[in-house]
Amino acid sequence: MTSLLTTDLGSIPLLGRGKVRDLYAVGDALLLVATDRISAFDHVLATGIAGKGKILTQISLFWFDLLKNIVPNHILTADVHEFPAVLRPYAAQLEGRSMLVKRAAMFPVECVARGYLAGSGWKEYQATSAVCRIQLPAGLLDGSRLPKPLFTPATKSQDGAHDENISFEATENVLGPADAAELRRLTLAIYSRASEHAESCGLILADTKFEFGRTAEGIILADEVLTPDSSRFWEGSAWKPGGPQPSFDKQFVRDYLESIHWNKQAPAPALPEDVVVRTQAKYLEAFRRLTGRDLTL
């Protein structure tokens, strides 16, 4: 199958294109379309991963349903047959990879939950023995389980650069104490529930990030949720602190780009077929493990 790298919905107003998703205005609602684009080191690559947008969307829908008793979400419908008539000519593009969602005033903070030390958290710990100014015990390793899950928020980057970890006090300054406390509570509650489910599937949810918004009804969970693009899922049986863990994400892509010594400047290179195939297989395996279902692309 071919990759869908850019959507074209004719006269439907395009609000923006992110690294993976295209966002359209459809009356009072928004249409979120997950393409097959893949990014690494803050650049969108020249090659897509066929079906990736469908996999991400279906994983998100699974989690939105599982978590709805903890927090409401932005989903109106993901069934193209229920979309407004103006979208029907584009059903082939939208099938399986799009969500019609509520508009919300989005909070300008990435809500990150960490149960294990990895990524930017590991780098910060090496330098300061803390993550987001939360002091941690000495002697932790790359991949170590934390004494308890942490809420480690980050600023949202608007220009494609890395998000920056910030303290809870800084989050209170941005959001106000009440909203900061509620987003921390929701983030850790969702992480706890999702970690339990992942563990039942033989997976470790090392860390993840959420986006929340506010509607007239209150705070909702939005964007994508608990996909391999926004979360680190590790193979539970292979977990061994002290280095990188076997994961269900785009690590094959990162490893390839490191191997060719790309300078991480635009233009981003294309990917060879074997890296594409192996990455697609990892995303599909994550879907099967988490949902217990197979996905036909």
Same domain, 66 and 170: no
CATH of the domain at 80: 3.30.200.20
Query: Is residue 282 assigned to a domain?
Result: no
Q: Which long-range contacts (CB under 8 A, 24 or more apart) does 165-173 make?
A: 165/112, 165/120, 165/121, 165/124, 165/131, 165/132, 166/109, 166/132, 167/132, 167/133, 168/132, 168/133, 169/133, 171/109
Q: What is the pLDDT of residue 2?
A: 87
Q: Which two tokens stand for residue 43?
A: 């650049």
Indicate the pLDDT class of residue 156, thresholds 50, 70 and 90: confident
Same domain, 139 and 85: no
pLDDT, tens digit, for every residue of 58-87? 999 999 999 999 999 999 999 999 999 999
Residue 22 belongs to domain spanning: 1-103
Residue 128, pLDDT > 80, answer yes
147 prior amide bond cis, ω within 30: no
Beta bridge partners of 165: 154
Mean pLDDT of 187-195: 98
Query: Is residue 244 assigned to a domain?
Result: no
User: What are the CA-CA distances from residue 123 to residues 11, 82, 131, 269, 279 (Å)?
Assistant: 46, 46, 9, 27, 25
pLDDT, tens digit, for every residue of 256-265? 999 999 999 9
Query: Is residue 133 assigned to a domain?
Result: yes
Beta bridge partners of 221: 73, 212
What pTM was estimated for this model as a whole? 0.94
Total number of domains in the chain = 2
Same domain, 90 and 129: no
Query: What percentage of the chain exceeds 70 in pLDDT?
Result: 98
Same domain, 141 and 80: no
What are the phi and psi torsion angles at 73 (to 5°)? -130, 180
Q: What is the pLDDT of residue 254?
A: 87
Mean pLDDT value across the chain: 94
Residue 131, pLDDT > 80, answer yes
